[in-house]
Amino acid sequence: MSMRSWVDYLYLTVGGTLSNGGVGGMVFQHGPMVSSVLELDVITGKGEMVTCSPELHSDLFNGVLGGLGQLGIITRARISLRPTPAKVRWLRLFYTDFDSLTSDQEFLISLRDTVGFDYVEGQVLLNHQQVDDPNFFSIEEAERINQLTAEFNAMYLLEVAVFFDSTSLVDQKVEGLLQRLSFVPGFAFSKDVSHLEFLNRVYTEEEHRKSSMAVDPSKIRHPWLNLFVPKSRIRDFQTGAEGILQNINPTGVVLLYPMNRNRWNENMTVVVPDEDVFYSVEFLWTSTEQDWKNLEAGNNEILGFCHRQGVQAKQYLAHYKSRTDWMEHFGEVKWKRFMQLKQTYDPKALLSPEQHIFTN
């Protein structure tokens, strides 16, 4: 059996991921990891062990999911599972046009689960970034893609997957779906892998990246910025961010893919934009000790751009330092509820003080 919605990287704790949300390419269909939770055991800040669920102590249950470790420590989670598929057909399709990428992504996440892909993500390949993933592309394929990248200023990648047990059915399904997409003709690549190989793909890529770096991996910094951006402003956001990043020339991965808001539970603490469809935009920078400050400055410029232009983005894995910023992040209703829950379950503010939400 397997979870319905997986994060991209597996080497995280269950409790830590549930205290944020747990996002990845299956969220559009099954919601974030928190949406599949049936029951939790939580040790609250008062030292009480409470079993909670949507029916039992539901305020604590909803509060802890996405609750940034503020209300209690999760010691057990019962999560809804489904049968593990035998195989995964994993595809990567290339685009030279941002609007074609996003309209295809939005079309794909609007499909019912039986007819569409099981996983939808995407990437922005910055500054003629070369494709270098021998676990997915052959040498000839990588050369062909890199030639295309050299010709165009911008390149985008749509990453999708179908989970399957029977090869004949998957061929038909994928063929039908590809006909409806507008990637660059001839630039669709696919591979059949085991379910585990697919779920572990980021770790495998990361190991390859580390082995080909000239720098000692322990000296590498990760000044990441994760944002949820409303669909109505994704084009403006992309233009603004691209302009800012041109001057910085960063290295790393930029993920960009849409999600359906109706797969998120409004009662949980996790915060998302107020629009039916929003994008997860993840700037996963890799930097040396010397240049991480430049990247942090770039991240702040992107946040400043959103603020000035009224792009109502919400940070995922936010690192605010002031209570005012946290209040703005949560919005009036959620902030009030979160404060009340904190008073009830951790009145001495003992838990996760490093978040600077109730302790500064």
Binding site for ligand FAD (CB under 6 A): 7-9, 12-13, 15-17, 19-24, 68-69, 73-74, 317, 352
Tell me how far apart the alpha carbons of residues 237 and 230 are, in angstroms, rounded to a whole number.
9
Could you tell me the smallest distance in angstroms from the CB atom of residue 13 to ligand FAD? Answer: 3
Give the shortest CB-264-to-ligand FAD separation in angstroms: 13
By beta-carbon proximity to ligand FAD, the closer residue of 8 and 141 is: 8
Provide, rounded to whole angstroms, the least separation between the CB of residue 8 and ligand FAD.
Answer: 3
Amino acid at 51: T
* Cβ nearer to ligand FAD, comparing 12 with 49: 12
Q: Looking at residue 86, what DSSP letter applies?
A: S
Q: Give the three-state DSSP class for 119.
A: strand
CB 149 to ligand FAD: min, Å: 25
In the DSSP assignment, the letter for residue 196 is H
Would you say 31 or 240 has its CB closer to ligand FAD?
31
Taking the C-alpha atoms of residue 360 and residue 350, their distance in angstroms, rounded to an integer, is 13
The position carrying tokens 């949406």 is 35
Residue 353 Cβ, how far from ligand FAD at the closest point, in Å? 9
Measured from the CB atom, is 24 or 298 closer to ligand FAD?
Answer: 24
Residue type at 213 in one-letter notation: M
Contacts with 155 (C-beta within 8 Å, 6 or more apart), sequence order: 94, 95, 96, 125, 128, 129, 148, 149
DSSP 164-179: ES-HHHHHHHHHHHHT
Nearer to ligand FAD, 305 or 316 (CB): 316
> Cβ distance 145 to 137 under 8 Å?
yes
Residue 249: both structure tokens together? 């020339």
157 vs 177, beta carbon nearer ligand FAD:
157
CB of 217 to ligand FAD, least distance (A): 13
